[in-house]
């Protein structure tokens, strides 16, 4: 399965790249499992946001072949 993964802000700095194309074998995995499979040595911060195909989704949302998955660090405001 081919997935495009995008990283923003501090997550981009943590993984060292803004985007990557991945071939994974875990058909039907969710976004959290995808993060663990691709970036297992880097913990995904609590309250991180994910978007699948430019729509916000939960970390337990399924990822399908051809999807674009974007990870955002927790957002704070003031």
Mean pLDDT of all residues belonging to the chain = 92
Starting at the edge strand found earlier in the chain, the sheet holding 68-72 runs 19-23, 2-7, 68-72, 49-52, 55-57
Are the beta carbons of 33 and 1 closer than 8 angstroms?
no
- What CATH number should be reported for the domain whose range is 2-72? 3.10.20.30
State residue 51's pLDDT score.
98
Residue 24 binned pLDDT confidence (cut-offs 50, 70, 90) = confident
Does residue 77 have a pLDDT over 80? no
State residue 4's pLDDT score.
97
Taking alpha carbons only, the member of 57, 26, 31, 53 closest to residue 44 is: 31
State residue 60's pLDDT score.
96
State residue 26's pLDDT score.
67
State residue 56's pLDDT score.
97
| Residues with Cβ within 8 Å of residue 63, at least 6 apart in sequence | 1, 3, 28, 29, 30, 31, 34, 52, 69
């Amino acid at each position: 399965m081919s997935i495009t993964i995008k990283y923003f802000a501090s997550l981009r700095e943590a993984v060292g790249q803004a985007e990557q194309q991945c071939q994974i074998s875990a058909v039907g995995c969710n976004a959290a499992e995808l993060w663990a499979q691709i970036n297992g040595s880097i913990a995904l911060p609590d309250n991180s946001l994910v978007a699948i195909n430019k729509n916000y989704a939960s970390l337990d949302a399924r990822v399908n072949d051809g999807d674009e998955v974007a990870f955002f660090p927790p957002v704070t405001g003031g």
